[in-house]
Amino acid sequence: MADGVTRQTHDDAIARIAEMLGARLVTSAADRAHHGQNETDFPETLPDAVAYPETTEEVSRILAICNAAGCPVTPFGAGSALEGQHLAQAGGISLDLSRMNQVLAVNPEDLNVVIQPGLRRVALNEELRATGLFFPVDPGADASLGGMAATRASGTTAVRYGTMRDNILALEAVMADGTVIRSGSRARKSSTGYDLTHLLIGSEGTLGVITELTLKLQGIPEAVTAATCRFDTVEDAVNCVILTVQSGLPMARIELVDEVMVQGFNLYSDAGLPEKPHLFLEFTGTPASVAEQTALFEEIAGEFSVDGWSSATKTEDRNALWSMRHNAHYACQALAGPGRRIRSTDVCVPISRLAEAVTTAQRLARDGGLTATIVGHVGDGNFHCGVVVDPTDPASVAQVAEFSHTIAHLALDLGGTVSGEHGIGLGKLDLMSREHGPALAYMRSIKAAFDPNGILNPGKLLPPASAKETLS
């Protein structure tokens, strides 16, 4: 896309970065290709070069060079984004933060930890094990924590502990021109000025590059019980969830798995589950509290067509259950067969409208002859349809895009949002205007103020401006 002059300017910027980083600035085809892949069906998108900074200072110098040259910079964590956030859509630098993966300080007495953004969540929890503390946000993928912050990720435990939005006390970020800022502190709350922490969380690398995070930690619960139960219908399962949430039961996890997804688990994980809608559950607390919660849940479930209840108190059984759940994307891929990809919807609705949303999605998939699994963080009203798409068949691509679009508009009609946790990236740009209306112009004005040259992850999160929007 770059013209000759721009091309030369970018090449000069890359050459200057190569002088600084040496072998940590890579232009090999293999490395560029690795950074151009994604878990969804977006086309391969190659950056011009991949930079592997090791310090905030290096990130700052890289951004200063790129800002002066107008060279795009796309942050890259683990590459597990589902809306293509890490793809260098406009070329330029893929800023791979995987070498900035250190735990900088564990503060057990304050229940927090200071980390670099390239650290992944599984490694963090391994490092924390001896402290009796853990970081609860669990999106399934072994994502980088910087990427999780940048996409405002959540997952199976958000019903209890909240999303990344709720679990970051402070951060350091490098802004477009190389300025390093800090936002927040190690104190648990603050009322001092505009909340730049929350502005950067979920900004998908378009406002700044997160180079450090201070994360809240939780005590590892004394007792944990996992369980599965199955229902005759998805409505019964969802209505059981709604009553559970309304009862104030402090569920650690409560996940919906529909009958198609169960087929996928049986295929991919040899699960041997009856092909009916299931809830996967986790209860945590003191032993007495877990016993009380379990009894209360059984009582609630008894009001619906619950059938089959199996609990797992042993660590390995619980791990097997959640590992199976976390592999939903790959189980869906197994159902799809070779050559097919999975497009995942991600709407989130008020819980009172959840049964309607889920059953409508199932009906639309069935009517369209689509293969679509449903898994959901249903305690939050968030669910995913994993729809099988044939990326080589334009009709299949168009049909799945249309299906996703319909589900997104349904969610908005029900008072919800088009993305609970995957973000906008490349995949939902066309929905931003409907979801945000006049607020979109204010988002654009922040982008223009923070990144006037538009170098930070261009083409993501904000759709191209239309004539209808104005900010006077």
Site residues (CB under 8 A) for a copy of itself, limited to 381-400: 381-382
Binding of a copy of itself by 308 (CB under 8 A): no
Contacting a copy of itself within 420-439 (CB under 8 A): 420-424, 428, 431-432, 435-439
State which residue, 175 or 240, has the beta carbon closest to a copy of itself.
175
178-217 binders of a copy of itself (CB under 8 A): 179-183, 185-196, 198-199, 201-203, 207
Select the span of 34-42, 227-235, 242-250, 365-373 touching a copy of itself (CB under 8 A): 242-250
Only segment of 115-123, 230-238, 366-374, 411-419 that touches a copy of itself (CB under 8 A): 411-419
Task: Tell me, residue by residue from 148 to 167, as one string, x for binding to a copy of itself by CB under 8 A and - for no binding.
Answer: ---xxxx---x---xx-xx-
Q: Given candidates 449, 464, 467, 468, which one binds a copy of itself under the rule CB under 8 A?
A: 449
Task: Assess 446 for contact with a copy of itself (CB under 8 A).
Answer: yes
Whose tokens are 């008894």? That residue is 302
Number of residues near a copy of itself (by CB under 8 A): 94
Burial 340-377 (b: 16+ CB within 10 A, else e): bbbbbbbbbbebebbbebbbbbbebbeeeebbbbbbbb
Site for a copy of itself in 255-294 (CB under 8 A): 286, 288-289, 292
Backbone angles phi, psi at 224, to 5 degrees: -135, 130
* Site membership for a copy of itself, residue 352 (CB under 8 A): yes
Instruction: Assess 175 for contact with a copy of itself (CB under 8 A).
Output: yes
Span near a copy of itself by CB under 8 A; candidates 50-58, 317-325, 344-352, 388-396: 344-352
Q: Alpha-carbon Rg of the chain, whole angstroms? A: 22
Pick from 380, 383, 403, 457 the residue near a copy of itself by CB under 8 A.
380
Point out which span in 3-11, 21-29, 244-252, 254-262 binds a copy of itself (CB under 8 A). 244-252
Distance (Å, whole) CA 135 – CA 128:
8
